[in-house]
Amino acid sequence: MEIKILKSELLKKIALGVNVAASKPSALPILNNLLLETQKGGKLKIIATDMEVGISTIATVEVIQEGNITVPARKFHEIVKELPEGDVEISVTKNNTINIKAGKSFFKIMGLGKEEYPKLPEFSLNDAVEVEQSVIKESLSLTSFAISHDETRYVLNGVLISFQGNNIRFVATDGRRLAFFKKETKQKTAKNIDMIVPSKTIHELLKLLEWEGTVKIIHTQNKVIFSLGDTFLTSSLIEGNFPNYEQVIPKEEKTQVVANREEFLQAVRRAALLTSPEAPALKFDFIKNKIIVSAKTPNMGEAKEELPAEFQGNEVAIGFNPGYFLDVLKNLTEEKITISLNEADKPGLVKGRDGYLYVIMPMQLN
């Protein structure tokens, strides 16, 4: 194999796969490699997989001699990043030796033949659901931070994506908070689809998504494929039943408070400075026309901040984990948010934009 390619094009394309290939040590060393394979019409196919998540993309190259090779993903990425701008020449000689030339720089690294490299799943775009990239990007940004990282609760280690007619729902929970977003889609799905997409796939997908254009989504029995132009992200799905999230969303709202999102964010951030592992909760007093945010930690001190708010209903004092509030306030962009409450021992509900709900379980105050 011998090819010539612009450094900027090569770097952009291998950056898509390097985290998939090099994320963890594997029993199969070849999984730490990227597969490079020439194709007709001056194309280079680049593939990365860890058997759970796979990514394939196409780069434009000058093919001097056809062929294929697998290269150590992390090292190859580091080398290409440091090469001078302009053309990069890559050639493979006997024993899978890879020569990399750019300007006056020259590198020689060892690759592996493609024989043992796993194949990505075959699929057809005929049954794909087409959705605006902005819908998926916004929805995942507003829900994925609530994914559980507790591997004993495997079914919560991803985002539930649910297609129902003209609606698409996104749900993530770690058992202590839940993020839910419902959006309308232009295309109606022929059948309802429920799939739990793992957090690693969500992370890679968010890097690929733009605010313009569409993404085609192909769902098979236990896999999902996201098609974005000449780049495909494939993933195994988490098997199991996602909890009944609708039961968790409070139906009753005895107290409703409307506050400025940015002011509330800054007040929570400042008060949280005086929480500790022994006293992790912030106290929120929702009273007539204001919210008082406070923290009190023995042997450390206390913090207190007041901010104006529109108020309806009963006054309530309640404890919450400040981190859970910060996650949602940082990701919403609305000027105003609504906080709905019932009792001091019942979940709170944050609403920002149409279709978005964020449920937070309360904490005991010391």
Query: What tens digit of pLDDT does each residue of 316-326 get?
Result: 999 999 999 99
Residue 206 · residue 199 · CB < 8 Å:
no
Query: What tens digit of pLDDT does each residue of 37-85 get?
Result: 999 999 999 999 999 999 999 999 999 999 999 999 999 999 999 999 9
Q: What is the pLDDT of residue 318?
A: 97
Instruction: Report the C-alpha gap between 157 and 196 in whole angstroms.
Output: 8
pLDDT of 24 over the 80 cut:
no
pLDDT of 155 over the 80 cut:
yes
pLDDT of 22 over the 80 cut:
no
Which amino acid is present at 316? Answer: V
Query: What tens digit of pLDDT does each residue of 89-110 get?
Result: 999 998 999 999 999 999 999 9
Q: What is the DSSP string of 231-258?
A: EEEEEEPBPSPPP-GGGTS----SEEEE
Q: What is the pLDDT of residue 65?
A: 96
Q: What percentage of residues in the chain have a pLDDT greater than 90?
A: 89
Calculate mean pLDDT across residues 201-223. Answer: 95
> For residue 46, what are the contacts with CB-CB under 8 A and spacing of at least 6?
13, 14, 16, 17, 34, 35, 36, 56, 57, 58, 59
Q: What is the pLDDT of residue 190?
A: 77
Instruction: Report the C-alpha gap between 325 and 98 in whole angstroms.
Output: 50
Calculate mean pLDDT across residues 109-118. Answer: 95
pLDDT of 26 over the 90 cut:
no
Confidence of residue 164 (pLDDT cuts 50, 70, 90): very high
Averaged pLDDT of the chain: 95
Token pair listed for 166: 């003209």
Which of these, 112, 87, 111, lies nearest to 101 by C-alpha position? 87
- For the chain, what's the residue count? 366
SS3 15: helix
pLDDT of 114 over the 90 cut:
yes
Query: What tens digit of pLDDT does each residue of 231-270 get?
Result: 999 999 999 999 999 999 999 999 999 999 999 999 999 9
> For residue 164, what are the contacts with CB-CB under 8 A and spacing of at least 6?
189, 192
Our CA angle for 361, 323, 358, nearest 5°, is: 45
